[in-house]
Amino acid sequence: MGSVTAPHRGAAPGAGGPAPAYPARVAQGGTTGVRPAFGTSRAAAPVAAVPAEGFAGGAEGFAGGAGDAAADVPIDAARLRLAIGRLTRRLRRHQLAGLTPGQVAVLATVDRSGPLRLSDLAAIEGIAPSTLTRLVAALENRDYVQRYPVAGDARASELAITAGGQEVLERIRQESTAALAGSLAKLRPGELAALAAALPVLEQLADDLAADGRTR
């Protein structure tokens, strides 16, 4: 084991290349390259072009611009939290049996940011080391992650995702994406445009919350 080194960050042992990109738009039949979720019966609404005046420019366009106009838009933080929580729980129902949400979260983080020391992984996930140890053990038993020694530190190890871990993670993502695509296809053009404009804001919010968790 002393001569084994961890794979390059973001790559899995034996992986043949980067994971396929996710569908980028909603069309009448679901998403490009992904079939609609089972049970979708209503006709899908075509995607309306996002008007340059109201929605272009991402967060600034959706909020009406920076400054006083954006400050005048009330946001119910509790309602937003509940909506995101409900959406997350519904998407998790489409994940593969045998993995808990916590295991999927750890696997996704190792895939995105690994190889990682367990201490760094626990800090990113915001969980206790004892909890992380149990999650990692379950993933190791399925050969989804593997530990590698850290050069120059015989007592330390880093965790990296395996090719099998990347494969199951991609299947989970495809199932969740297909389920979400079925719901998006039911939205009206104006609703789709509003959601598309809000995406940069939601992504920034997620990044800010993650950064806050790492600094505490």
Residue 209 sits at φ, ψ, to 5 deg, of -65, -40
Average pLDDT in the chain: 73
For 80, residues 6+ apart whose C-beta sits below 8 A from its C-beta are: none
Backbone dihedral region of 46: left (phi > 0), alpha (psi from -120 to 50 degrees) or beta?
Answer: beta
The pLDDT tens digits for 112-131 are 998 999 999 999 999 999 99
Task: Determine which of 1-10, 69-78, 120-129 has the lowest per-residue pLDDT on average.
Answer: 1-10
Q: Quickly state the pLDDT bin for 95 (edges 50, 70, 90).
A: low
Q: What is the pLDDT of residue 41?
A: 36
DSSP state of 12: -
Tokens 């850290």 label which residue? 150
For 71, counting Cβ atoms within 10 Å of its Cβ (0-12 exposed, 13-18 middle, 19+ buried), the class is exposed
For residue 184, CA distances in Å to 82, 109, 171, 178 come to 19, 26, 20, 10
Q: Quickly state the pLDDT bin for 87 (edges 50, 70, 90).
A: confident
Q: Where are the beta strands (DSSP E) in the chain?
A: 26-27, 30-31, 116-117, 145-150, 153-161
Q: Which residues pair with 150 in a beta bridge?
A: 153
Q: What is the pLDDT of residue 178?
A: 87
Q: Quickly state the pLDDT bin for 150 (edges 50, 70, 90).
A: confident
Backbone dihedral region of 152: left (phi > 0), alpha (psi from -120 to 50 degrees) or beta?
Answer: left
Q: What is the pLDDT of residue 103?
A: 92
Q: All domains of the chain, ordered by start, with CATH?
A: 71-185 (1.10.10.10)
Q: Quickly state the pLDDT bin for 4 (edges 50, 70, 90).
A: low
Average pLDDT of the residues in 152-172:
91
3-state secondary structure 32-48: CCECCCCCCCCCCCCCC
Do residues 110 and 102 touch, judged by C-beta distance below 8 A? Answer: no
Q: What is the pLDDT of residue 112?
A: 93
Q: What is the pLDDT of residue 9?
A: 52
Q: Quickly state the pLDDT bin for 37 (edges 50, 70, 90).
A: very low
Q: List the structure tokens of 128.
A: 């206790």
Q: For residue 177, how many other CB atoms are within 10 A of its CB?
A: 20
